[in-house]
Amino acid sequence: MYFRILNNEASGELTYLLADQDAREAVLIDPRGRDLPLLAALLAERELRLRWVLRTHHHDQLNPQETTLLAGLGAPMIQGDADACVQDGQVLAFGDELMRVLFTPGHTPACRSFAWRDRLFCGGLMAVDACPQQPLPADPEALWDSVTQRVFNLPDETLLFAGHERRARAVSTVLEQRRWHPFFAGVSRDEFLARVAALGRSTAAR
């Protein structure tokens, strides 16, 4: 098995490459169009066939060419607003490995998370106020449900991989986030929604 994290130091954005080296099949999670030459080189270096392009979320309104660029990778793309045929809980295979799709709306209306082995790739789901493209969640109520009912119900040791760095960290655990997340730990749903609403008023006042 091959697993690699690619970090854009300027933006903090993270891309993940996973591959079954025996079968020579790979998936990319949250690739960026500007990185296509690098991604193509990594795949070619290990003679990997790209099986899936998985996007936890996107802000393509800020970069309208992104979908077209990513189509150049030549693999089926799974993302929230364009995968009506993909169901919650559906399993995607690459080689002998399995990736499970979880619907986790909130950060954007159609966020997806991807579970593989003991890891969950959850994009901007945990970054309530830390996404550089979107400072506030699109749907706070759905975000609360996705985090508390889906993510926090996973085993404590599950590794959570973000779509961009938060305080210089790419990975944490369910236990850690459940206990110490600055917005979700130790608060009720109403308290969480009130804090997000206050963030919105603060942002609007700037």
pLDDT single digits (tens) 18-48 = 999 999 999 999 999 889 999 999 999 999 9
CA 50 vs. chain centroid, Å, equals 18
Number of domains within the chain: 1
Rounded Cα distance between 60 and 87, Å, is 22
User: β-strand 49-54 against 77-78: which pairing, if any?
Assistant: parallel
Rounded Cα distance between 127 and 155, Å, is 20
User: 56 lies in which domain range?
Assistant: 2-205
Alpha helix (H) residue ranges in the chain: 36-45, 66-71, 140-145, 174-180, 189-205
User: What's the pLDDT band for 110 if we cut at 50, 70, 90?
Assistant: confident
pLDDT single digits (tens) 118-142 = 999 999 899 887 677 777 888 999 9
pLDDT above 70: residue 206: no
Q: What is the pLDDT of residue 134?
A: 72
pLDDT single digits (tens) 65-95 = 888 889 999 999 998 765 567 899 999 999 9
| pLDDT mean across residues, the chain | 89
CA quadruple 189, 195, 199, 202: dihedral sign: positive
Residue 192 to residues 135, 143, 181, Cα–Cα distance (Å): 16, 10, 11
* Partners of residue 173 on adjacent β-strands: 159
Say which CATH number the domain at 51 has. 3.60.15.10
User: What's the pLDDT band for 106 if we cut at 50, 70, 90?
Assistant: very high
Rounded Cα distance between 53 and 147, Å, is 23
User: What's the pLDDT band for 64 if we cut at 50, 70, 90?
Assistant: confident
pLDDT single digits (tens) 165-195 = 756 578 999 999 999 999 999 999 999 999 9
| Comparison of pLDDT for 197 and 205, the residue scoring more | 197
pTM of this structure: 0.92
Tokens of 93: 């295979």
52-59: average pLDDT: 88
